[in-house]
Structure 1
């Protein structure tokens, strides 16, 4: 994973910055699910589901690490899928364990809000990073001068009286 300096963080798009925050959130929640699955299971009325909670935690850690990468698009889409799975599991738990409905409603609300945020972020990232997963365009024939190199050399030679130019260099070969 490439480390980002302060200046490269400033040049990130808002979607990339949001993905970075969602990555840290995934890591934190995932680690909590891995470390304290029984406690979380009891709070949600799912005391016998600690292995499933650990699996969700592992998924969160993996997507969190991916969200901290240079192109977090796939990791954020995986969060969207994970959110849908979590929402389904919590809805099922609400039907089976209505005695914990306050905690389950709170968890469903949090997952619902995060699903909307994750989906919006994933969609924005997909648009921003659209070409990184596909074929890179061939720019080898472009010189960077709108009129071509000959035009640029001609313009420079026309101004020769104002500045001393080095002798003409040979054109670079591809």
Structure 2
């Protein structure tokens, strides 16, 4: 289990990417055919809908699971699939390849953000695992205990720290 701060910048970015994944996934799932038509890639409508389900799963994982790193790397892998699929729409016979370029630019931007977030999460975890300094060889005393033994035997005791006269034990036979 990872022990990084839950309020870290990497975690906040991962949560944001989780919500983005759910929104994008819902759009792909519900409007996959329309998106495919907009890009001139009607033959990939079912694939786009499947990618939507993948995005929703990654988003839920980022929001609900304890360690977002595997889910963030899942987003990066999904982005690679998206880029490969979009690259097939850049063919010369696609009259809507400018729309594909636009979508490709958005996916490349999201991929860069995913990679930045994954790197932040790994750095934060590494910092959290840094062992604390070892002070086991220190006593907290200014000198070694042997050198301090008896050092205060001749120290004057202030009146307010002495036992009051009325409470002191009397020697036998004294009034």
TM-score higher than 0.5: yes
- TM-score norm. by structure 2 comes to 0.67
Partner of 1:60: 55
Shift of 1:71: 1.7
Measure, in 2, the Cα distance between the counterparts of 1:19 and 1:66: 10
Shift of 1:51: 1.4
Flag the 1:24–1:111 CA change in 2: closer, same or farther, 3 A. Answer: same
Measure, in 1, the Cα distance between the counterparts of 2:80 and 2:35: 19
SS in 2 for 1:99: coil
| 2:62–2:68 Cα contact (<8 Å) kept | yes
Cα deviation, 1:20-60, whole Å, max 9, x if unaligned, reads 11000000000111111110110111112221111100110
Q: How does 1:38-77 map to 2 (within 5 A)?
A: 38-69=33-64, 70-77=66-73
Larger RCO (CA under 8 A, 6+ residues apart): 2
2:30 to 20, 35, 49: 35
| 2:28–2:51 Cα contact (<8 Å) kept | yes
- Asked if 1:114 is matched to 2:107, the reply is no
Cα deviation, 1:51-110, whole Å, max 9, x if unaligned, reads 111110011001001111332111111111111110111111112653112211110110
**Number of equivalenced pairs:** 136
- TM-score norm. by structure 1 comes to 0.67
Shift of 1:11: 6.1
Measure, in 2, the Cα distance between the counterparts of 1:98 and 1:75: 34
Flag the 1:147–1:92 CA change in 2: closer, same or farther, 3 A. Answer: farther
| Structure 2, unpaired ranges of 5+ | 141-159, 162-175
| Structure 1, unpaired ranges of 5+ | 1-9, 149-160, 163-174
